[in-house]
Structure 1
Amino acid sequence: MSISKWKIKGIVDDFTECGCCGRRGLKRTVAMMPLDADGNEDGTAEDVVYYGTSCAAQALGWSHSRVTDAARAARAQRKESDSFARRMISIYAPLEFAPARDKIRVFYGRNQGLRGKGLKATEEVAQLLSRARATLADTMVSPARPSRIEDFRPFAVIFTRDERIHLVQPLPLGRAEREKASGPLLRCVEQIRGKLTIVAALDAESARDVAYADDLTREYNTQAWHALHG
């Protein structure tokens, strides 16, 4: 059985011209990475080609529907990888230069099943951050995504009385605007007799993760935000 010369990396909206036939004005194109003789990726972002679905199907020897399904699956996987990367950065980036004991406490608090496995928590945190940043810096199918603490924004997280998250809402960056936005949030807290927590993160999903984290994680999260924004 012959090995395909291409691997589908996803569907792209930014490139609307087929790199094979030159057709323009396409709604989207399929990003494909060349493969070597053993079926391994053979290139970088600069080597990715962008074909319309018909040309992609012809290049792969697949049906049009199979190409479309594979491209959608690749896009979904990319979104999942980006989401995980944002969560890891939102959790661990504020701890990057923390004492080793604090990194160990946070890492094993989140990964209790890894205790006794011979892992060094400080090295694991560094690797998690490195992989997460590489994921968000990958420009094969989309521009680089925010990945720095400087890119964090504040989120209001309201908990119910039984410690479930009732609401996650982004807050304005300006202090005066945040104070103005706090009125309705505090009324909501009073109405449900809940609790309001402010965290900093790359997106709302990451904010939920930080809000549910341990006290030490939230402490470093708050310190990192105030160090940049006061």
Structure 2
Amino acid sequence: MSIPKWTIKGVVEDFDTCGCCGRRGLKRTVALMPLDADGNEDGTAEDVAYYGTSCAATALGWRQGKVTDAARAAQVERNQRDDYARRMISTYAPLESAPVRDVARVYYSRNQHRRDMGVKASVEVAKLLAEARAILADTTTGPARPSRIEDFRRYIVILSSGGQIYLVRRVSEEETARREQAAAAQRRADEIRGSVLVVAALDSEAARTVAYADELTREWNAKAWQAARA
């Protein structure tokens, strides 16, 4: 069986011209990464070709519908990787300025089995952050995504009486609106006998992860937010 020359990386809306036939004005194109003779990816984002679905189908020897389904599935996988990366950065990036003992406490609290394996927390956190930043810097199917602490935004998190997240909402940039948000959140928390947290993260899902983390994680999260805006 012949080895395909391309693999689908996802769907792209930033390129509206087919790199094969030159057709313009496409709503979206399919990102194709070249493969080597062994079927492994052979290139970087600069080597990716952007084809319309019909040309992509011809290049792959597939039906057009199969190309569309595969491109959407690849994009879903890419989005999931991005979500993971944002959670890791929002949780661990603030710890880069923390003492080694605090890094260890946070990492092992989330990865107890790794302590038993003799894994060094500071090394693993550095690896996690490098991987997460590389994921968000990948421009295969779109521009690089925010990944710095300076890109964090604050989120109000309302917790139920049982400690479950009831609501996550981004904090307004405007001072008056911010005070009104805080007051409204506290009223709602009082109504459900819950509590209010304010955390910093790359998006609302990452804010959930930070909110559910231990107090030390949230302490360094707050310190990093303040330092980034000093």
Same fold (TM over 0.5): yes
Q: Do residues 4 (structure 1) and 41 (structure 2) align?
A: no
Residue matched to 1:147: 147
User: Is 1:42 the equivalent of 2:42?
Assistant: yes
Structure 2 CA distance, aligned partners of 1:228 and 1:25?
A: 41
Of residues 49-58 and 166-175 in structure 1, the stretch that sits farther from structure 2 once superposed is 166-175
Shift of 1:184: 1.5
Letter in 2 for 1:218: R
1:170-197 residue CA offsets vs partner (Å, 9 max, x unmatched): 0023444422321211211121111000
Q: Which position in structure 1 is the counterpart of 2:224? A: 224
**Distance in 1 of aligned mates of 2:12 and 2:227:** 37
SS at match of 2:225: helix
Mapped contact 1:153–1:173 kept (Cα < 8 A): no
Counterparts of residues 169-208 of structure 1 (less than 5 Å)? 169-208=169-208
Task: State yes or no: 1:124 paired with 2:124.
Answer: yes
Matched, 1:210 2:190: no
User: Secondary structure of 1:96's partner?
Assistant: helix
CA shift in 2, pair 1:223/1:176, >3 Å: farther
The two structures have a TM-score, normalised by structure 1, of 0.97
Alpha-carbon separation, structure 2, partners of 1:9 and 1:30 = 8
Secondary structure in 1 aligned to 2:145? coil
Q: Any conservation in 1 of the 2:150–2:229 contact (CA below 8 Å)? A: no
Q: What's the C-alpha RMSD, in Å, of the aligned pairs?
A: 1.1
Runs (5+) with no aligned partner, structure 2: none
Aligned identity (percent) is: 62
For residues 46 and 118 of structure 1, what CA distance do their matches in structure 2 show?
39
What CA distance in whole angstroms lies between the structure 2 residues aligned with 1:177 and 1:220? Answer: 26
Taking the aligned partners of 2:176 and 2:40, their CA distance within structure 1 comes to 53
Structure 1: tracts of 5 or more residues without a match: none
1:78 aligns with 2:95: no
> Is the contact between residue 86 and residue 206 of structure 2 (CA under 8 Å) also seen in structure 1?
yes
Q: TM-score, normalised by structure 2?
A: 0.97
**Range moving further from structure 2, 220-229 or 191-200:** 220-229
135-144 vs 108-117, which moves further: 108-117
